[in-house]
Amino acid sequence: MTVETMPRSTVARWAGGLYLAYIVANVLASRLANIGLSDPQTLRATIANDEVTFRLGLVAALGSALLFVLTAWALYVLLRSVSEPLALLLLVLNAVGVAVQCASYLPLLAVLAQGDGSVDVQALTGPQLDALALLSVTTYRVGFVMAQLFFSAWLFPLGWLVLHSGFLPRLLGWLLLIDGVAVTIWFLQVFLAPGHPALSYPSWAVGFIAELGLALWLLIKGVAPTIHDHHGALEQTTRGHP
């Protein structure tokens, strides 16, 4: 069986399973290493005081990035029958966002290098090293938020495709579109109104409901059969029984 001949319900459950695995890995990275929402001081302390745990969290974060791309690919396969260009667009936007987010982790590796002796930092004083580490962590956070521009954008074609699919709940499509708006507001808040973090709080609640809801629906419920599916099954039956 190839991807082209795989039943839509099977593709849906693969997409849901990958999406849920991505969410779990993302939460694990946040819990272990404070990657994601923590402030620079907390993340800096985690790297300095518990390097092993941080490295495990970083591996979880990179694993979640891979799972997110695979999720987007599975959703592309599932939804391309609705609109091939929009399905391809969501895949590209997701991949670019993941690339930007992975690149944002590089300054964290620079902080690790300061502590493991892999680079010579003897010319720098203690306060200078602390300032450099804090700058690296702050730079990471900026890059992490930059990735949200693409992660907000991918939700719009995804929401539209779910809304018009005919085999997924329209409510999920609307929630994904609202999620796209909420993440966009978060991105704009960080760059244009950094002193008002409360503006971004709704994005977390909406995102949790919309994306976890989609993952669980695909994994547990699969997709509803469409008129096209019934016609295709009838045609196959007719061909097999002349």
Residue 233, Cα to own-chain centre: how many angstroms?
35
**Whole-angstrom Cα distance, residue 184 to residue 188?**
6
pLDDT at 125 over 60: no
Q: How far apart are CA 111 and CA 182, in angstroms?
A: 32
Q: Are 52 and 77 in contact (CB under 8 A)?
A: no
Q: What confidence tens digit (pLDDT) does each residue in 169-187 have?
A: 999 999 999 999 999 998 9
In DSSP notation, the chain reads --TTTS-HHHHHHHHHHHHHHHHHHHHHHHHHH-TTTS-HHHHHHHHHH-HHHHHHHHHHHHHHHHHHHHHHHHHHHHHTTT-HHHHHHHHHHHHHHHHHHHHHTHHHHHHHHHHHTSS--TTS-HHHHHHHHHHHHHHHHHHHHHHHHHHHHHHHHHHHHHHTSSSS-HHHHHHHHHHHHHHHHHHHHHHH-TT-GGGGHHHHHHHHHHHHHHHHIIIII-----HHHHHHHHHHHHHH--
- pLDDT 10s digits, 1-23: 566 667 888 999 999 999 999 99
Query: Amino acid identity of 119?
Result: V
Helix axes 40-49, 126-163, angle to 10 degrees: 110
Above 50 in pLDDT, residue 238?
no
CA distance 48 to 43: 9
Global pTM?
0.84
How high is the pLDDT of residue 14? 95
pLDDT value at 227 more than 70: no
Q: Average pLDDT in the 79-107 region?
A: 95
Question: pLDDT exceeding 90 applies to what percent of the chain?
Answer: 50
Q: Where are the domains of the chain?
A: 8-223
